[in-house]
């Protein structure tokens, strides 16, 4: 699943919960929240470590070396972009699960966190 598809799925879970079409017990929502939190943290760590992938050196100053460095830097940036999208998607799923248990204040906080990640990613472009 691509990050954009996952974000859409997360938003759909939230929308269904807000409309009363999807619900779950609080305990189930808390377990899913914990799983999402673990995923989000792992993605955050991978994204932080990926900064090195966007700062490529060691290629010669020949045009082919500069081209290779630029290509690897672009791949590193895309990697970090995908990880940010997956973080956003996991936060939107977390929001949906919390909303399904009528924990709307916490669900809204998760949605705000997802928006912050999206905004941060735009700032990095």
Beta strands of 27-114 (E only): which ranges? none
Render pLDDT for 4-60 as a digit per residue (tens, 0 to 9): 887 888 889 999 999 999 999 999 999 999 999 999 999 999 999 888 777 777 777
pLDDT of residue 62: 76
pTM of the model: 0.85
Look at the block and give the residue holding tokens 């919390």: 98
Where does residue 102 rank: exposed (0-12), middle (13-18), buried (19+ CB within 10 A)? middle
Average pLDDT over every residue of 88-95: 96
In angstroms, what CA-CA distances link 96 with 31, 33, 55, 123?
13, 10, 36, 26
């Amino acid at each position: 699943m691509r990050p954009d598809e996952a974000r859409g799925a997360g938003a759909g879970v939230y929308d269904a919960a807000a409309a009363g079409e999807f619900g779950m017990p609080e305990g189930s929502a808390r377990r899913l929240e914990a799983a999402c939190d673990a995923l989000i943290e792992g993605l955050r760590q991978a994204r932080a470590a990926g900064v090195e992938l966007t700062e490529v050196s060691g290629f010669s100053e020949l045009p082919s070396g500069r081209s290779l460095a630029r290509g690897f830097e672009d791949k590193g940036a895309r990697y970090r972009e995908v990880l940010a999208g997956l973080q956003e998607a996991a936060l939107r799923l977390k929001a949906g699960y919390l909303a399904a248990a009528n924990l709307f204040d916490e669900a809204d906080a998760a949605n705000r966190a997802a928006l912050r990640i999206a905004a941060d990613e735009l700032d990095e472009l």
